[in-house]
Amino acid sequence: MASTDIEILDHVASAEKLNKIADRRALNRRHFLAALGMTGAAAGAGLMSGCSQSAVVPANTSLASSQTDILNFALNFKYLEATFYSYVVTGKDLTGTAVTNTGAITGTPASQPTFASQQITDLLNEILFDEKSHLNSLISLLGSSAVYRPAINLAAYAAITSTNALSIARLIEDVGATALATVIDGLDTTSATFMAQMLGAESFHAGALRLISIQNPSIAAYAKADSLDVAPFDPGTAALAAVGPVANGGFFATAGSLSFTLADPAGAAFARSTSQVLAIGYGTGGTIAASGTTSGGFFPAGVNGSINKV
Protein backbone atom coordinates (compact mmCIF):
# COMPACT_ATOMS: atom_id res chain seq x y z
CA MET A 1 0.00 0.00 0.00
CA ALA A 2 1.08 3.60 -0.56
CA SER A 3 2.31 5.53 2.42
CA THR A 4 -0.21 7.89 4.00
CA ASP A 5 2.45 9.84 5.90
CA ILE A 6 2.15 13.21 4.17
CA GLU A 7 4.49 16.07 4.91
CA ILE A 8 2.87 19.45 5.60
CA LEU A 9 4.93 22.48 4.71
CA ASP A 10 5.98 25.34 6.99
CA HIS A 11 2.96 27.49 6.16
CA VAL A 12 4.25 30.77 7.62
CA ALA A 13 7.30 30.41 5.39
CA SER A 14 5.01 29.41 2.53
CA ALA A 15 2.95 32.58 2.89
CA GLU A 16 6.09 34.74 2.89
CA LYS A 17 7.38 32.91 -0.17
CA LEU A 18 4.06 33.42 -1.97
CA ASN A 19 4.23 37.17 -1.35
CA LYS A 20 7.78 37.37 -2.72
CA ILE A 21 6.86 35.32 -5.80
CA ALA A 22 3.79 37.49 -6.45
CA ASP A 23 5.79 40.73 -6.16
CA ARG A 24 8.44 39.39 -8.52
CA ARG A 25 5.85 38.26 -11.09
CA ALA A 26 3.93 41.53 -10.89
CA LEU A 27 7.16 43.41 -11.66
CA ASN A 28 7.90 41.08 -14.58
CA ARG A 29 4.40 41.65 -15.98
CA ARG A 30 4.83 45.44 -15.76
CA HIS A 31 8.16 45.22 -17.56
CA PHE A 32 6.61 43.02 -20.24
CA LEU A 33 3.70 45.38 -20.87
CA ALA A 34 5.95 48.42 -20.82
CA ALA A 35 8.14 46.82 -23.47
CA LEU A 36 5.07 46.34 -25.65
CA GLY A 37 3.91 49.90 -25.01
CA MET A 38 0.62 48.61 -23.61
CA THR A 39 -1.24 48.74 -20.33
CA GLY A 40 -4.58 47.51 -19.03
CA ALA A 41 -7.28 46.79 -21.58
CA ALA A 42 -5.15 47.98 -24.47
CA ALA A 43 -2.66 45.24 -23.69
CA GLY A 44 -5.39 42.63 -23.68
CA ALA A 45 -6.80 43.86 -26.98
CA GLY A 46 -3.37 43.90 -28.61
CA LEU A 47 -2.50 40.43 -27.41
CA MET A 48 -5.83 39.02 -28.56
CA SER A 49 -5.73 40.50 -32.08
CA GLY A 50 -5.57 37.82 -34.73
CA CYS A 51 -7.31 35.26 -32.51
CA SER A 52 -10.56 33.64 -33.58
CA GLN A 53 -13.86 34.48 -31.90
CA SER A 54 -13.66 31.21 -29.98
CA ALA A 55 -10.76 32.68 -27.99
CA VAL A 56 -12.60 35.86 -26.89
CA VAL A 57 -11.85 36.59 -23.23
CA PRO A 58 -14.96 36.33 -21.01
CA ALA A 59 -16.51 39.45 -19.55
CA ASN A 60 -15.14 40.58 -16.20
CA THR A 61 -16.59 38.52 -13.37
CA SER A 62 -15.13 40.37 -10.37
CA LEU A 63 -17.00 39.83 -7.14
CA ALA A 64 -18.33 42.73 -5.12
CA SER A 65 -16.76 41.20 -2.03
CA SER A 66 -13.65 41.81 0.03
CA GLN A 67 -10.45 39.83 -0.43
CA THR A 68 -11.13 38.09 2.87
CA ASP A 69 -14.66 37.06 1.83
CA ILE A 70 -13.42 35.58 -1.44
CA LEU A 71 -10.52 33.69 0.13
CA ASN A 72 -12.80 32.35 2.86
CA PHE A 73 -15.28 31.17 0.23
CA ALA A 74 -12.46 29.19 -1.39
CA LEU A 75 -11.32 27.97 2.04
CA ASN A 76 -14.70 26.30 2.71
CA PHE A 77 -14.29 24.16 -0.40
CA LYS A 78 -10.68 23.38 0.44
CA TYR A 79 -11.94 22.07 3.80
CA LEU A 80 -14.35 19.83 1.88
CA GLU A 81 -11.71 18.55 -0.55
CA ALA A 82 -9.02 17.90 2.04
CA THR A 83 -11.47 16.20 4.41
CA PHE A 84 -12.84 14.00 1.61
CA TYR A 85 -9.41 12.79 0.50
CA SER A 86 -8.24 12.31 4.08
CA TYR A 87 -11.04 9.82 4.77
CA VAL A 88 -10.76 8.14 1.35
CA VAL A 89 -6.97 7.75 1.52
CA THR A 90 -6.24 7.31 5.23
CA GLY A 91 -9.62 6.40 6.73
CA LYS A 92 -9.11 9.24 9.23
CA ASP A 93 -9.87 12.93 9.64
CA LEU A 94 -7.49 15.82 9.20
CA THR A 95 -5.45 17.05 12.16
CA GLY A 96 -3.95 20.35 13.31
CA THR A 97 -5.34 23.83 12.64
CA ALA A 98 -7.70 22.46 9.97
CA VAL A 99 -9.91 20.94 12.66
CA THR A 100 -9.88 23.83 15.16
CA ASN A 101 -13.50 24.51 16.22
CA THR A 102 -14.66 22.23 13.43
CA GLY A 103 -18.25 21.56 12.52
CA ALA A 104 -19.50 17.98 12.63
CA ILE A 105 -18.19 15.61 9.95
CA THR A 106 -20.78 13.05 8.83
CA GLY A 107 -21.19 10.62 5.95
CA THR A 108 -17.68 9.21 6.33
CA PRO A 109 -17.04 5.89 4.51
CA ALA A 110 -18.23 2.83 6.38
CA SER A 111 -14.95 1.21 5.36
CA GLN A 112 -11.90 2.71 3.68
CA PRO A 113 -12.28 2.44 -0.11
CA THR A 114 -9.89 0.27 -2.09
CA PHE A 115 -8.98 0.87 -5.72
CA ALA A 116 -8.22 -1.09 -8.87
CA SER A 117 -4.51 -0.35 -8.88
CA GLN A 118 -1.67 0.89 -6.72
CA GLN A 119 -1.26 3.75 -9.19
CA ILE A 120 -4.74 5.10 -8.39
CA THR A 121 -4.03 4.86 -4.66
CA ASP A 122 -0.74 6.70 -5.09
CA LEU A 123 -2.39 9.41 -7.18
CA LEU A 124 -5.02 10.01 -4.49
CA ASN A 125 -2.27 10.26 -1.88
CA GLU A 126 -0.60 13.00 -3.91
CA ILE A 127 -3.89 14.87 -4.34
CA LEU A 128 -4.37 14.69 -0.56
CA PHE A 129 -0.91 16.25 -0.08
CA ASP A 130 -1.82 19.10 -2.44
CA GLU A 131 -5.22 19.74 -0.86
CA LYS A 132 -3.81 19.79 2.66
CA SER A 133 -1.10 22.18 1.51
CA HIS A 134 -3.68 24.47 -0.18
CA LEU A 135 -5.81 24.39 2.95
CA ASN A 136 -3.00 25.23 5.34
CA SER A 137 -1.58 27.94 3.07
CA LEU A 138 -4.99 29.64 2.88
CA ILE A 139 -5.35 29.47 6.65
CA SER A 140 -1.89 31.05 7.01
CA LEU A 141 -2.65 33.80 4.49
CA LEU A 142 -5.96 34.68 6.16
CA GLY A 143 -4.56 34.49 9.69
CA SER A 144 -7.15 35.38 12.34
CA SER A 145 -9.69 36.12 9.58
CA ALA A 146 -9.82 32.48 8.44
CA VAL A 147 -13.19 30.84 8.97
CA TYR A 148 -13.37 27.51 10.77
CA ARG A 149 -14.27 24.27 9.02
CA PRO A 150 -18.04 24.07 8.54
CA ALA A 151 -20.12 20.98 9.18
CA ILE A 152 -19.55 18.62 6.25
CA ASN A 153 -21.60 15.67 4.99
CA LEU A 154 -19.28 13.62 2.79
CA ALA A 155 -22.18 11.43 1.65
CA ALA A 156 -24.19 14.30 0.12
CA TYR A 157 -24.19 12.68 -3.33
CA ALA A 158 -24.05 9.08 -2.13
CA ALA A 159 -22.48 6.98 0.62
CA ILE A 160 -18.78 6.76 -0.27
CA THR A 161 -17.68 3.31 -1.46
CA SER A 162 -14.85 1.78 -3.45
CA THR A 163 -17.18 1.91 -6.46
CA ASN A 164 -18.12 5.59 -6.41
CA ALA A 165 -15.27 7.37 -4.56
CA LEU A 166 -13.54 8.35 -7.80
CA SER A 167 -16.79 9.59 -9.30
CA ILE A 168 -17.37 11.91 -6.33
CA ALA A 169 -13.72 12.99 -6.39
CA ARG A 170 -14.04 13.88 -10.09
CA LEU A 171 -17.13 15.98 -9.40
CA ILE A 172 -15.49 17.84 -6.51
CA GLU A 173 -12.32 18.62 -8.50
CA ASP A 174 -14.16 19.81 -11.61
CA VAL A 175 -16.42 22.08 -9.54
CA GLY A 176 -13.40 23.34 -7.58
CA ALA A 177 -11.60 24.32 -10.78
CA THR A 178 -14.62 26.21 -12.14
CA ALA A 179 -15.05 28.01 -8.81
CA LEU A 180 -11.43 29.20 -8.68
CA ALA A 181 -11.65 30.31 -12.31
CA THR A 182 -14.28 32.85 -11.22
CA VAL A 183 -13.09 34.03 -7.80
CA ILE A 184 -9.52 34.67 -8.99
CA ASP A 185 -10.79 37.74 -10.87
CA GLY A 186 -11.83 39.44 -7.63
CA LEU A 187 -8.42 39.18 -5.96
CA ASP A 188 -5.42 41.48 -5.76
CA THR A 189 -2.09 40.56 -7.35
CA THR A 190 -0.61 38.63 -4.44
CA SER A 191 -3.73 36.56 -3.73
CA ALA A 192 -4.49 36.08 -7.44
CA THR A 193 -0.99 34.71 -8.08
CA PHE A 194 -1.42 32.16 -5.31
CA MET A 195 -4.95 31.30 -6.48
CA ALA A 196 -3.71 30.85 -10.06
CA GLN A 197 -1.14 28.32 -8.86
CA MET A 198 -3.83 26.57 -6.83
CA LEU A 199 -6.12 26.55 -9.89
CA GLY A 200 -3.33 24.94 -11.91
CA ALA A 201 -2.98 22.15 -9.35
CA GLU A 202 -6.76 21.70 -9.22
CA SER A 203 -6.80 21.32 -12.99
CA PHE A 204 -4.03 18.70 -12.85
CA HIS A 205 -6.14 16.75 -10.36
CA ALA A 206 -9.31 17.05 -12.43
CA GLY A 207 -7.61 15.93 -15.64
CA ALA A 208 -6.07 12.88 -13.99
CA LEU A 209 -9.34 11.86 -12.35
CA ARG A 210 -11.28 12.32 -15.58
CA LEU A 211 -8.90 10.01 -17.44
CA ILE A 212 -9.12 7.42 -14.66
CA SER A 213 -12.92 7.69 -14.81
CA ILE A 214 -12.85 6.95 -18.55
CA GLN A 215 -10.46 4.03 -18.11
CA ASN A 216 -12.34 2.54 -15.13
CA PRO A 217 -16.07 3.09 -15.74
CA SER A 218 -17.04 0.32 -13.33
CA ILE A 219 -15.50 2.19 -10.38
CA ALA A 220 -16.23 5.74 -11.50
CA ALA A 221 -19.84 6.06 -12.62
CA TYR A 222 -20.67 9.60 -13.72
CA ALA A 223 -22.06 11.85 -10.98
CA LYS A 224 -23.57 14.93 -12.67
CA ALA A 225 -23.04 18.28 -10.94
CA ASP A 226 -25.30 20.59 -13.00
CA SER A 227 -26.08 21.54 -16.61
CA LEU A 228 -22.53 22.86 -17.13
CA ASP A 229 -20.95 19.57 -16.11
CA VAL A 230 -19.03 17.79 -18.87
CA ALA A 231 -19.12 14.01 -18.46
CA PRO A 232 -15.79 12.14 -18.68
CA PHE A 233 -16.07 10.52 -22.11
CA ASP A 234 -13.85 9.26 -24.93
CA PRO A 235 -15.44 10.29 -28.27
CA GLY A 236 -13.86 7.19 -29.82
CA THR A 237 -12.31 8.71 -32.93
CA ALA A 238 -9.70 11.35 -33.66
CA ALA A 239 -12.17 13.27 -35.82
CA LEU A 240 -14.74 13.55 -33.05
CA ALA A 241 -12.13 14.38 -30.41
CA ALA A 242 -10.74 17.15 -32.64
CA VAL A 243 -13.91 19.24 -32.21
CA GLY A 244 -13.62 19.18 -28.42
CA PRO A 245 -16.21 17.90 -25.93
CA VAL A 246 -19.54 16.87 -27.48
CA ALA A 247 -23.02 16.24 -26.05
CA ASN A 248 -21.87 12.98 -24.43
CA GLY A 249 -18.87 14.67 -22.78
CA GLY A 250 -15.12 14.74 -23.32
CA PHE A 251 -11.69 14.08 -21.87
CA PHE A 252 -11.65 17.54 -20.29
CA ALA A 253 -14.30 19.80 -18.77
CA THR A 254 -13.91 22.49 -21.42
CA ALA A 255 -16.17 24.16 -23.96
CA GLY A 256 -16.09 22.47 -27.38
CA SER A 257 -16.35 24.00 -30.84
CA LEU A 258 -20.11 23.33 -30.79
CA SER A 259 -20.78 24.48 -27.22
CA PHE A 260 -18.65 27.58 -26.67
CA THR A 261 -20.09 31.02 -26.00
CA LEU A 262 -18.51 34.44 -25.58
CA ALA A 263 -18.58 33.81 -21.82
CA ASP A 264 -17.10 30.31 -22.20
CA PRO A 265 -14.53 30.32 -25.04
CA ALA A 266 -13.75 27.09 -26.88
CA GLY A 267 -10.99 25.18 -25.15
CA ALA A 268 -11.54 27.03 -21.85
CA ALA A 269 -12.84 25.60 -18.60
CA PHE A 270 -16.29 26.73 -17.58
CA ALA A 271 -16.38 29.36 -14.82
CA ARG A 272 -19.15 29.00 -12.26
CA SER A 273 -20.36 31.92 -10.13
CA THR A 274 -20.30 31.54 -6.36
CA SER A 275 -24.08 31.02 -6.52
CA GLN A 276 -23.72 28.20 -9.05
CA VAL A 277 -20.98 26.57 -6.96
CA LEU A 278 -23.09 26.76 -3.81
CA ALA A 279 -26.09 25.33 -5.67
CA ILE A 280 -23.98 22.22 -6.28
CA GLY A 281 -22.45 22.25 -2.80
CA TYR A 282 -25.89 22.47 -1.16
CA GLY A 283 -27.45 19.97 -3.57
CA THR A 284 -28.09 16.30 -2.89
CA GLY A 285 -27.82 13.25 -5.13
CA GLY A 286 -27.17 15.31 -8.24
CA THR A 287 -30.07 17.76 -7.69
CA ILE A 288 -28.86 21.34 -7.32
CA ALA A 289 -30.21 23.62 -4.60
CA ALA A 290 -32.68 26.40 -5.40
CA SER A 291 -31.89 30.11 -5.42
CA GLY A 292 -31.75 31.53 -1.91
CA THR A 293 -30.67 28.25 -0.28
CA THR A 294 -28.15 28.69 2.55
CA SER A 295 -27.39 25.10 3.58
CA GLY A 296 -27.65 21.44 2.62
CA GLY A 297 -25.75 18.79 0.72
CA PHE A 298 -22.04 18.76 1.49
CA PHE A 299 -22.59 21.68 3.90
CA PRO A 300 -25.60 20.79 6.11
CA ALA A 301 -25.24 23.98 8.17
CA GLY A 302 -24.03 26.13 5.28
CA VAL A 303 -20.53 27.43 4.54
CA ASN A 304 -18.81 29.86 6.89
CA GLY A 305 -18.22 33.45 5.80
CA SER A 306 -20.16 36.18 4.02
CA ILE A 307 -20.54 34.42 0.64
CA ASN A 308 -22.97 31.71 1.70
CA LYS A 309 -26.22 31.86 -0.30
CA VAL A 310 -27.21 30.40 -3.68
10-residue mean pLDDT profile of the chain (310 residues): values are 41 48 43 33 30 32 72 97 97 95 97 93 97 95 95 95 95 94 87 92 95 91 88 92 90 87 85 94 90 96 96
pLDDT at position 157: 92
pLDDT score recorded for residue 63: 54
- The pLDDT, as a whole number, for residue 64 is 57
pLDDT at 27: 41
CA-to-CA distance for 181 and 178, rounded, in angstroms?
A: 5
Residue-level length of the chain: 310
What proportion of the chain, given as a percentage, has pLDDT over 90? 60
Span 251-301, pLDDT tens digits:
998 888 888 888 788 988 888 999 999 999 999 877 999 999 999 999 999
**Can you give the pLDDT at residue 142?**
93
Burial 209-224 (b: 16+ CB within 10 A, else e): bbebbbeeeebbebbe
Helix H or strand E encompassing 44: helix 40-48
Nearest residue to 253 via CA among 231, 220, 238, 286 = 231
Q: 164: closest CA among 104, 202, 203, 110? A: 110
The pLDDT assigned to 34 comes to: 36
Where are the chain's structural domains?
51-281
**Interatomic CA distance for residues 214 and 191, integer angstroms:** 34
User: What pLDDT, on a 0 to 100 scale, did the predictor assign at position 147?
Assistant: 97
The residues, ordered by sequence, that sit 6+ positions from 243 with a Cβ below 8 Å of its Cβ are 256, 257, 258
- Alpha carbon 224 to its chain's center: 16
Q: Which helix (H) or strand (E) holds 55?
A: none
What's the pLDDT score for residue 173?
Answer: 96
Which CATH code of 3.40.30.10, 2.30.40.10, 1.10.260.30, 1.20.1260.10 fits the domain covering 51-281?
1.20.1260.10
Listed in sequence order, the residues at least 6 apart from 49 whose beta carbon sits closer than 8 Å to its beta carbon are none
pLDDT at 11: 47
